[in-house]
């Protein structure tokens, strides 16, 4: 049997780490692949390969919520080029890497769309006014 030396130990450790990484990636890919029942047609591609949601303008629980794609504006990277408003006041939203959305009001509760983020903010505000958020 060959003698175990430092080089062989490091080679074996690297091989095991690589094999574990490949299995993890394969398992993650298999579990996140959408099935035919969960796939939906989406609007045109937007920021970083994500799809830009459609505009909306509605009254939800007596509050007017609006959302629309925007370009420019300085802080476009957070909202992925999308602006959301509650009663005319901008609700700062951010798109997560997984495609979910969060807002400054409901930061720890990701939702699937900016419309859902606006609705969650209205629910969380419980009738209180949304105050302008100072941008740095």
The three-state (H, E, C) secondary structure of the chain, written as one string: CCCCCHHHHHHHHHHHHHHHHHHHHHHHHHHHCCCCCCCCCCCCECHHHCECCCCEEEEECCEEEEEEECCCCCCHHHHCCEEEEECCEEECEEECCCCCEEECCCCCCCECCHHHHHHHHHHHHCCCCCCCCCCC
Domain 47-125 class in CATH: alpha beta
The pLDDT score that the predictor gives to residue 5 is 77
| pLDDT, tens only, 86-109 | 999 999 999 999 999 999 998 899
The domain limits of the chain are 1-33, 47-125
| pLDDT, tens only, 112-136 | 999 999 999 999 999 999 988 776 5
| pLDDT, tens only, 25-77 | 455 445 444 444 443 333 444 444 556 799 999 999 999 999 999 876 544 44
């Amino acid at each position: 049997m060959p003698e175990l030396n430092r080089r062989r130990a490091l080679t074996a450790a690297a091989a095991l780490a690589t094999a574990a990484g490949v299995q993890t990636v394969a398992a993650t890919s298999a579990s996140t692949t959408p099935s035919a029942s969960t796939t939906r047609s989406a609007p045109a591609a937007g920021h970083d390969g994500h799809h830009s949601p459609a505009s909306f303008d509605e009254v939800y629980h007596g509050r007017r919520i609006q959302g629309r794609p925007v370009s420019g504006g300085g802080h476009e990277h957070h909202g992925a080029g999308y602006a959301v408003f509650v009663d005319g006041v901008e609700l700062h939203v951010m798109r997560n890497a997984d495609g979910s959305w969060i807002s400054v009001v409901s930061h720890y509760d990701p939702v699937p769309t900016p419309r859902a983020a606006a609705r969650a903010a209205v629910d969380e505000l419980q009738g209180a006014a949304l105050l302008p958020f100072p941008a740095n």
